[in-house]
Amino acid sequence: MAPMLEVCLLGFTTAWVHECGSCGFRQIRPRLAREILSLIYPGEYFDSDCNIGYSDFSRQAQRSQRVAFFFAKKMRHRVPPEAKLLEIGSALGFLLHALRDYTSWQVQGLDVAPFASYFAGKMYDMDVKCGTLQEARFPDENFDIIIQKDLLEHVTHPLEHMLESNRIMKKGGYLWLITPNGKADIRPLQRAARKIRNAGMDALPLLGQGHLSFFSRNHLMRLFSETGFHCISMRNISIRRGLRALGYMPWNKRSFSMIHRKDTSRPAPGELPA
């Protein structure tokens, strides 16, 4: 893989997005060390007023109620009433809490961010482990349903992660996975880098959501095949936003976030700052 774009990752460290010359897959390389992975998701990541993370996290609780209602309705006749569900990347526990209201499923969460697992346990009395999927060491064939919503793009080793997901899923179980269109996801960063370069600024585009991998549809299908999953349904969501990112529709505001190099300690990618 060859470097294609330098970014500031969550305002914490500089990193390079690399691209595979044969298949076009893009990923942050070198891969982040485990020590950094939890540090780049502090409590501020879940603060709507911060310039990292998701700007509308405060509205996720209401959205999760709607998502949980329709997901429970869809899965009700596909899994047992006491089905075991794991959400990997459960964040503040909004979706798990809502699913507990609409189902009798045994719900459990996992998140690498210490603040997220603490909040979900303290606020909603949810069973949420802190760590990566490999660190959790769940038993073989343990879950009827696994949810990975906006998670796979944050994983350092997607292939190993998906193999582990397969191992802990019961035969005939269901995986619900949502991840951004990689091409649309990276396009605003490329546009911001060009603007910075043309303006002669010593700055980097801010990769504020911590995405480490950028998947295309073909990449996902190959990943599913290589890790033992059979895709029964795939669809695009937020098409309008994706078209804007690709340049086919205008943005309402032509803006971007950046970090000046002098404002970062600029540790080597994959290393802790001094």
> Assign residue 231 a region: left if phi > 0, alpha if psi is -120 to 50, beta otherwise?
beta
pLDDT exceeds 50 at position 25: yes
The percent of residues in the chain predicted with pLDDT above 90, rounded, is 70
Residue 57: which pLDDT band, with cuts at 50, 70 and 90? Answer: low
Looking at residue 146, its amino acid is: I
Who's near 200: CB < 8 A, 6+ residues apart? none
Question: What value does the mean pLDDT take over residues 153-168?
Answer: 97
pLDDT in tens, 203-247: 999 998 899 999 999 999 999 999 999 999 998 876 665 555 455
Backbone φ, ψ for residue 42 (5° rounding):
-75, 180
d(C-alpha 151, C-alpha 148), whole Å: 5
d(C-alpha 70, C-alpha 257), whole Å: 35
In the sheet with 26-29, reading across from the earlier edge strand, the strands are: 213-214, 26-29, 13-19, 2-9, 203-207, 258-260
pLDDT exceeds 60 at position 255: no
d(C-alpha 164, C-alpha 128), whole Å: 18
Read off the pTM. 0.88
pLDDT in tens, 103-150: 999 999 999 999 999 999 999 999 999 999 999 999 999 999 999 999
